[in-house]
Amino acid sequence: GSGKSTLLNLPSVKAPSDPAVFVPVDRLPEIEVARLKLPILSEEQVIMEAIKENMVVVLCGETGSGKTTQVPQFLYEAGYARSDKIICITEPRRVAAVSMSERVAREMNLSNRIVSYQIRYEGNVTSDTKIKFLTDGVLLKEIQKDFLLTKYSVVIIDEAHERSVYTDILIGLLSRIVPLRNKKGQPLKLIIMSATLRVEDFTENTLLFPTPPPVIKIDARQFPVTIHFNKRTPIEDYVGETFRKISKIHRMLPPGGILVFLTGQAEVHSLCRRLRRAFPFKPNKKPEEMDESEEPILERKKLKRTKQMKVMTMPKINLDNYSALPVDEGDEDRDAGIDDEEDLPDSDLDLDIGDDDTGEEGMKPDPTLPLYVLPLYSLLAPEKQAKVFRPPPPDTRLCVVATNVAETSLTIPRIKYVVDCGKVKKRYYDRVTGVSSFKVTWTSQASANQRAGRAGRTEPGHCYRLYSSAVFGDFEKFTQAEITRRPVDDLVLQMKDLNIEKVINFPFPTRPSSEVLIAAEELLIGLGALEEPAKSGRHQELERAKLSCPITHLGRVMAAFPVAPRYAKMLALGRQHDCLPYVITIVSAMTVREIFDEFDRPVISEEEKEKLTGKKARVLQMRCIWAGQGNSLQLGDIMVMLGAVGACEFAGCTSKFCSDNGLRYKAMVEIRRLRGQLTNAVNSVCSDAKLFVDPKMKPPTDLQVTYLRQIILAGLGDHVARRISTEELLDVKWKNGYKTPLLDEPVFIHPNSVLFKELPEFVVYQEIIETSKMYMKGVSVLQPEWIPVLLPQYCHFGKPLETPGPSYCKETGKVKCHRESTFYRIGWQLPAVEV
């Protein structure tokens, strides 16, 4: 074949093909009416025929055409979940998996025992489940346990255009699983759904699918959307500009909901607060109709009440082991963490800012109409997130302030105006060193067009872009697949565990560069998860050998843990000296990341720190208390994490405790779940471990702290840094800097680290984040003499030393002598080791 895919686009509708397999669904009349309006409904026959005839089908349709909610129902009705096999549908985002399962259950008038979801920490799947929504990462884990996915009759990969790594890997794996299932006489159908027509990576990649799968295109009823570009060059304060644009739309333009795209949760909250202040919304008098979160003050009061109730049902535990400082009374009323009101200018109501194309329709202004402002982002609680689907209260205008989630995963009804800041927040990794940074950058043209399209779902709409058409012309055309932007050590380990030895031959929809694959294999070899290739042979052969190293026993154990390989190694070592409960806690905290509320700005100078009063000062003081003294302080930020989790659990993990002590409540709740999950994983890997999560976990003993420091080092062996000595100082800017094996530039201890002032000679860090400088986070101190013993793979050993001379060891019958060692290619001299 030429590799071209067939394009089926037939509008014909026939009666259900085989009434014998028709499984009726008892939908409510109003649901039936709403369904019939969806463009996908007229294509049901075409879609179902294609699925019947083909093992793999690609389905493209604009956001809102009904793919996610309707295709599982078509399959259900056609009998794909009749026998013991069920239908599953993957989502890259947890929020979509949860809300879509709820929506489909409601549409089908079935309970969530039948239409269920499973995400990383929770789910409501039962033995009666017929349609299961899950995150792509969860399905990958299921493949590890059951390669043929025997539970399922159909796998739907939703939002494939987002090109999340797990989605890509799943499609690669499923391209092999589908023919295997076919051979066994138990066919598995694969449906790949995309909101864009750009599916060549799936259809024209003959490594993936030798016969190109058919592509079905759903013509969405899309109303025209008028695009208004800003005339001016882009402005720095795009949140402020967004505010002004919304104010203008609200005052000047006819009714219709507004959807705003910003880049992150903090921005969303800040804009919501500002809009609510400018256009206050007073809920109806009737308390039962009142929706607490629409009015910030009310919301806080209500929250407090529920919080108190929660505290009462928690077991009261003794706080002796983790001391907590008393709370300043004045702080009681403060909002938890997100407190960025100070940085808003006071000229909120100044509308005369020029550069707008909004005036054309010249409608009469209506300054009295309240704005019904709703936030929407991935981590928002599902109840709050569901509000965007309900009609706004009468005589208000809906305004949804969202992150990228609203771009394709969720379709918000009643939107007529879109305000697009044009930016997106992404995590960037240096491909080799793994240094990561969050960057707000321009989005792609495809994504900007998706955003604009949200305005034309129900009637003609308008999209206001806060950038000029020239800038738009410079955007990249499409968003790159995630797999090309991040390290892949976790994926490589998972694949090796699936016995895919030559990862380079894996049918990736987009293959990561061999440089990145080699970096991943080198890390895994260093961790002992893969066998080291024989050192003989030429460089080229060695590089090739590195791409096909078999997995070790340790590697298999590590692959069983749902965390990054570095942390999995720590778990695998943690059995010694009863350290596991601590290691599980540390690994959970490191995996969840950002467990501290870092005030308004991440970096605070020493002088600023001294001047802090009230809550902030107490929070910093708490961290010092959690870090402790002596050996415990040597464990550094890791000890702070351990102390924070311990103290928080002692206090019953309340949001009040978190807010009082500068912890992120959501992070703490996630850590709690992950601890449970990892404890179960450890128990299932080694049945005699019999661990349980003990909230009353005692602080580790001095000896255990030493072991923990070593376990951390064993997992983060490639994250060692040495302080740059005065003689090595090439530049004053390097003062207090550290040198790492892979970076030329110096790195620094993050100012929020408890070791910031200590400046130990050798440290091991969790990660490097680049902001104004390259900062190490999650720092602990290491003894240089541990390196040759715990990380021999990174050392070069010299000849045996003459002093002290060789000695005979009676127990082993061997002669022991000292050898000198140097670290890595950079050759740091390390203390001699006895061999």
Strands (E), 717-761: 720-723, 738-739, 748-749
Q: State the binding string over 43-82 for Mg ion (x if CB under 5 A, else -).
A: ------------------------xx--------------
Nearest-angstrom CA–CA distance, 424 and 428: 12
Q: How far is the CB of 392 from Mg ion (least distance, A)?
A: 23
Q: Hey, is 536 helix, strand or coil?
A: coil
Q: Which is nearer to ligand ADP, 193 or 787 (CB)?
A: 193
Strand ranges of the sheet holding 818-823, from the earlier edge strand across to the other edge: 795-800, 818-823, 828-834
Q: Which is nearer to ligand ADP, 65 or 270 (CB)?
A: 65
Q: Which is nearer to Mg ion, 68 or 99 (CB)?
A: 68
Nearest-angstrom CA–CA distance, 73 and 221: 21
Quick one: which segment of 10-18, 65-73, 262-270, 760-768 binds ligand ADP (CB under 6 A)?
65-73
Task: Based on the shown chain and the rule CB under 6 A, indicate whether residue 103 belongs to the binding site for ligand ADP.
Answer: yes
Q: Which does 438 bind (CB under 5 to 8 A by kind): Mg ion, ligand ADP, none?
A: none
Q: Which is nearer to Mg ion, 258 or 406 (CB)?
A: 406
Tell the residue number behind the tokens 């709409």, with chain if given.
Answer: 461
Say if CB 246 and CB 421 are below 8 A apart: no
Say if CB 307 and CB 655 are below 8 A apart: yes
Quick one: which segment of 63-71, 126-134, 201-209, 616-624 binds ligand ADP (CB under 6 A)?
63-71
Q: State the binding string over 353-392 for ligand ADP (x if CB under 6 A, else -).
A: ------------------------------------x---
- Centre a 10 Å sphere on the Cβ of residue 662 and count the other Cβ atoms it contains: 20
Nearest-angstrom CA–CA distance, 724 and 248: 55
Strands (E), 171-222: 189-194, 215-218
Bridge partner list, 375: 401
Say if CB 450 and CB 63 are below 8 A apart: yes
Task: Based on the shown chain and the rule CB under 6 A, indicate whether residue 715 belongs to the binding site for ligand ADP.
Answer: no
By CB atoms closer than 10 A (0-12, 13-18, 19+), residue 479 is: buried
Among 68, 167, 443, 710, binds ligand ADP (CB under 6 A): 68
Task: Based on the shown chain and the rule CB under 6 A, indicate whether residue 63 belongs to the binding site for ligand ADP.
Answer: yes
Q: Is the bond into 39 cis (omega within 30 degrees of 0)?
A: no
Strands (E), 3-107: 7-8, 56-61, 86-91
Q: Which does 496 bind (CB under 5 to 8 A by kind): Mg ion, ligand ADP, none?
A: none
Task: Based on the shown chain and the rule CB under 6 A, indicate whether residue 555 belongs to the binding site for ligand ADP.
Answer: no
Q: Hey, is 499 helix, strand or coil?
A: coil
Q: Which residues contact 819 (CB under 8 A, 6 or more apart)?
A: 797, 798, 799, 800, 801, 832, 833, 835
Say if CB 48 and CB 70 are below 8 A apart: no
Task: Based on the shown chain and the rule CB under 6 A, indicate whether residue 61 belongs to the binding site for ligand ADP.
Answer: yes
Q: Which is nearer to ligand ADP, 63 or 175 (CB)?
A: 63
Distance of CA 549 to the CA centre of its chain: 29
Q: How far is the CB of 448 from ligand ADP (least distance, A)?
A: 18
Q: How far is the CB of 488 from Mg ion (least distance, A)?
A: 27
Q: State the binding string over 399-418 for ligand ADP (x if CB under 6 A, else -).
A: ------------x-x-----
Q: How far is the CB of 81 from ligand ADP (least distance, A)?
A: 18
Q: Which is nearer to ligand ADP, 99 or 118 (CB)?
A: 99
**Using CB under 6 A, which residues numbered 10 to 39 contact ligand ADP?**
38
User: In 102-133, which positions are buried (b, 16+ CB within 10 angstroms) versus exposed (e)?
Assistant: bbbbebbebebebbbbbbbeebbbeeebbbbb
Q: Hey, is 445 helix, strand or coil?
A: helix
Q: Please name which of 766, 763, 711 lies closest in space to residue 579, comparing C-alpha atoms.
A: 711
Quick one: which segment of 60-68, 659-667, 668-676, 791-799 binds ligand ADP (CB under 6 A)?
60-68
Q: How far is the CB of 67 from Mg ion (least distance, A)?
A: 5
Among 5, 49, 66, 215, binds ligand ADP (CB under 6 A): 66
Task: Based on the shown chain and the rule CB under 6 A, indicate whether residue 93 belongs to the binding site for ligand ADP.
Answer: no
Quick one: which segment of 56-64, 231-239, 673-681, 816-824 binds ligand ADP (CB under 6 A)?
56-64
Q: Which does 69 bind (CB under 5 to 8 A by kind): ligand ADP, Mg ion, none?
A: ligand ADP
Contacts 24+ apart (CB under 8 A), 348-352: 348/243, 348/274, 348/277, 348/278, 349/247, 349/278, 351/244, 351/247, 351/248, 351/251
Number of residues in contact with ligand ADP under rule CB under 6 A? 15
- Quote the tokens at residue 17: 């093909």
Q: How far is the CB of 121 from ligand ADP (least distance, A)?
A: 22
Among 57, 60, 65, 94, binds ligand ADP (CB under 6 A): 65
How long is the chain? 835
Quick one: which segment of 64-72, 135-143, 553-561, 709-717 binds ligand ADP (CB under 6 A)?
64-72
Among 67, 130, 496, 664, binds ligand ADP (CB under 6 A): 67
What single-letter DSSP state applies at residue 461? E
Q: Which does 61 bind (CB under 5 to 8 A by kind): ligand ADP, Mg ion, none?
A: ligand ADP
Phi (first) and psi of residue 809, to 5 degrees: -105, 120
Q: Which is nearer to ligand ADP, 65 or 585 (CB)?
A: 65
Number of residues in contact with Mg ion under rule CB under 5 A? 2
Q: How far is the CB of 115 from ligand ADP (least distance, A)?
A: 13
Pairing mode of beta strands 56-61, 215-218: parallel
Q: How far is the CB of 298 from ligand ADP (least distance, A)?
A: 24
Q: State the binding string over 621-660 for ligand ADP (x if CB under 6 A, else -).
A: ----------------------------------------
Quick one: which segment of 68-76, 530-538, 554-562, 694-702 binds ligand ADP (CB under 6 A)?
68-76
Q: How far is the CB of 281 from Mg ion (least distance, A)?
A: 30
Task: Based on the shown chain and the rule CB under 6 A, indicate whether residue 451 belongs to the binding site for ligand ADP.
Answer: no
Q: How far is the CB of 203 from ligand ADP (least distance, A)?
A: 19
Nearest-angstrom CA–CA distance, 260 and 440: 16
Q: Which residues contact 688 (CB under 8 A, 6 or more apart)?
A: none
Phi (first) and psi of residue 234, to 5 degrees: -55, 145
Q: How far is the CB of 223 from ligand ADP (least distance, A)?
A: 13
Q: Which is nearer to Mg ion, 67 or 569 (CB)?
A: 67
- Centre a 10 Å sphere on the Cβ of residue 197 and count the other Cβ atoms it contains: 15
**816, amino acid identity:** K
Nearest-angstrom CA–CA distance, 41 and 86: 22
Contacts to ligand ADP by CB under 6 A: 38, 61, 63-70, 99, 103, 389, 411, 413
- Positions touching Mg ion (CB under 5 A) are 67-68
